[in-house]
Structure 1
Amino acid sequence: MKILFVVPYPVSKAASQRYRVEQWLPVLQEQTINYKLAPFWDTATWAILYRKGYSLQKLSGLVKGMFKRLFLLAQLPAYDYIFIHREATPVGPPWFEWVAAKVFRKKIIFDFDDAIWMPNTTEDNSMASNYKWHQKTAQIIKWSYKVSAGNHYLQQYALNYDANAVYLPTVLNTTINYNRVKEQQTERVTIGWIGSHSTLPYLKLIEPVLQQLEQNYSFDFIVVADRKPDLNLRSLNFIVWSADTEIESLLKFNIGVMPLPNTEWAKGKCAFKALQYMALGIPVVVSEVGANVVAVPDGLAGFTCNTPQEWYQKLELLLQDADLRAKFGHTGKLWVAQTYSMSARQQNFLNLFT
């Protein structure tokens, strides 16, 4: 068997690709399945893609990526399955997917972990958003042999166009990478959040809560991201995200948070931050939105919240009680190992190629 992975990002640069594609590659090797990874963006363009300016370099990178996709078409006959993570090209119609499915008659496996059929314009992608082809998500799903959806909300959308849409959550390697447990008896308590520039604005939702907590408690608030957050907090500490130091950064947290707005776009999120926290024995406090409701055992491994008052009360409770943090952390770690680990979902992943 030979599989072509058509992916957006350079290797090891983006969380969704690392956890939904790249971490499964050793499993394929164990099964003696051959594969090739074909990123759209090169490393140099990715480094400046979400920075202001560099318009010519970005355009050059886009053109280069389009030509790579064009040349890739000639290689399609050699593969049994074409696995497309999110999209083959970041702008324009799904011409690559159409040729693969309709001309070469290839079995496309389409994988997505966001509500990418919805416009989601930010300051970073405002120019590119004018050339996005959001309706292509439904088209690609229709042409696909199977669809892998990161949460039930995404699966329900996909089922409107393809009966072979399955739920496959983003999972963690709990035997190698996420095999440690946070020690909760620490001198100072830390609340933490991990993410990227695209989700940093969600921290504004709990900024007033954290400011109120600062009036009554001494703690650190750590943000691990690719960009420093714009938050007015005296407790704020910023750590630049790196794949090499990700686990060590997470283990600085006593409590992990994941605020989300109650929007259709947010319902497409896959609760991955919460899973990362729980996998390391870190209790979580999250918004009661979308996949968070399914992923977090409320009152057992953490809390789901609807109002600022709930956020304050639950964070206060965990700040004050190290034993409760340890208890929740133990439950959460076991829950992730049983439900959201690679070993728990390996067969589901391999079944995509049957």
Structure 2
Amino acid sequence: MKVLFVVPFPLGKAASQRYRVEQFLPFLQKRGIKYKVAPFWDASTWTVLYKKGHFLRKATGVFDGFLRRALLLLQLPSYNYVFIHREATPVGPPWFEWIAAKVFRKKLIYDFDDAIWLNNTSDENKSVTRYKWQHKTEKICRWSYKVSVGNNFLKEYAQQFNQQVVLLPSAVDLINKYNKLKNQQVERITVGWIGSHSTLPYLKLIEPALQRLEKKHDFDFIVIADRSPELRIDSMVFVPWNQETEVDGLLRFSIGVMPLPDTEWARGKCAFKAIQYMALGIPAIVSAVGANTEAVLNGETGYTCTTEQEWYESLERLLTDPDLRAKQGEAGRAQVEERYALQAYEQTFVSLFS
């Protein structure tokens, strides 16, 4: 058996791809299944893709990406399955998926962990939003042999077009990577958030609560991301994201936060930040939106919040009680072991190719 993974990003660069595709690949190797991973973006373009300017370099990157996709069609006859993570091309119609499914008759496995059929405009992508063809998600679902999704909200959407939908939560490797627990008996308390530029604006939702808290309590607010947020928080410490130090960075957190707006796009999120926190024994405080309410057991592994006052009270409760942080951290780790451990989903992933 041979599998072609058609993915957007260079290897090791994007959380969605790392946790939904790349970390599962050793399970195929173990079974002697051969595969190839084919990114759209090259490493050089990726370094400037979400920066202002660099128009020529970005345009060249788009051209090169489409050329690689066209040449990839010539290799399709040698593969049994074609696994599409999110989309084959970032703009335009789903021509690659259509040719793979309808011309070459390949079995498509379509995977996504966001509500990618919706517009989600940011400052970085608003100029190309009109060309993204979000409605192609429905078509690719219809053409696919199986669809793999990260939560029940996405599953309900995909089942409108395809009955072979597999729920595959974004899981973490508790043996080889997330194998440490936060020591909550520390002198310096920290509240932390990890993410990318696309979700940085959500931190504005808890800015007022953090401003109130830092007037009463001494703590650091650590942000791990690919760029620094624009927040009026005196306690903020920005840490550039690095794959090699990701877990060590998370272990600096005493409390992890995941604010979200109550929108349809946010309901498509898979609570992955909360899962990362809890896997390391860090209690998670999250917005009561979508999969967050399934991942975080309110009052047991952290708190789910709907108002600014709930955010303030939940944060203050954990900031001032190390024993409660340790108790909820241990419960969170147990929750991840039961529901979000990578090894528990090995067979689910492998069964996509059968």
Match in the other structure for 2:261: 261
CA distance in 1 between counterparts of 2:313 and 2:237 reads 23
Match in the other structure for 1:35: 35
Match in the other structure for 2:238: 238
Number of paired residues?
Answer: 354
The question of 1:107 aligning with 2:107 is answered yes
Partner SS state of residue 127, structure 2: helix
CA distance in 1 between counterparts of 2:61 and 2:343 reads 37
Match in the other structure for 2:327: 327
Partner SS state of residue 126, structure 1: coil
Match in the other structure for 1:86: 86
TM superposition score normalised by structure 2: 0.99
* Runs of at least 4 residues off by over 6 Å: none
TM superposition score normalised by structure 1: 0.99
Match in the other structure for 1:54: 54
Query: Shift of the alpha carbon at 1:128?
Result: 1.7
Query: Within 5 Å, which residues of 2 pair with 1:1-354?
Result: 1-354=1-354
Query: Shift of the alpha carbon at 1:183?
Result: 0.2
- Code of the aligned partner of 1:237: V
Q: Deviations over 1:298-335 (max 9, x none)?
A: 11111101111111111100001000100111111111
Partner SS state of residue 244, structure 2: coil
- Code of the aligned partner of 1:97: E
Partner SS state of residue 4, structure 2: strand
Quote the RMSD (CA, aligned, Å). 0.6
CA distance in 2 between counterparts of 1:70 and 1:127 reads 25
- Unpaired runs of 5+ residues, structure 2, are none
Q: Deviations over 1:130-182 (max 9, x none)?
A: 21101100000000000001111011000000001121110000001000000
CA distance in 2 between counterparts of 1:98 and 1:130 reads 21
CA distance in 1 between counterparts of 2:30 and 2:314 reads 44
CA distance in 1 between counterparts of 2:28 and 2:193 reads 32
CA distance in 2 between counterparts of 1:188 and 1:49 reads 37
Partner SS state of residue 170, structure 1: coil
- Code of the aligned partner of 1:259: P
CA distance in 1 between counterparts of 2:342 and 2:109 reads 19
- Code of the aligned partner of 1:154: L
Taking only the aligned residue pairs, the percentage that are identical comes to: 60
Query: Shift of the alpha carbon at 1:193?
Result: 0.1
Higher mean C-alpha deviation, range 254-263 or range 333-342: 333-342
Query: Shift of the alpha carbon at 1:124?
Result: 0.6
- Code of the aligned partner of 1:101: A
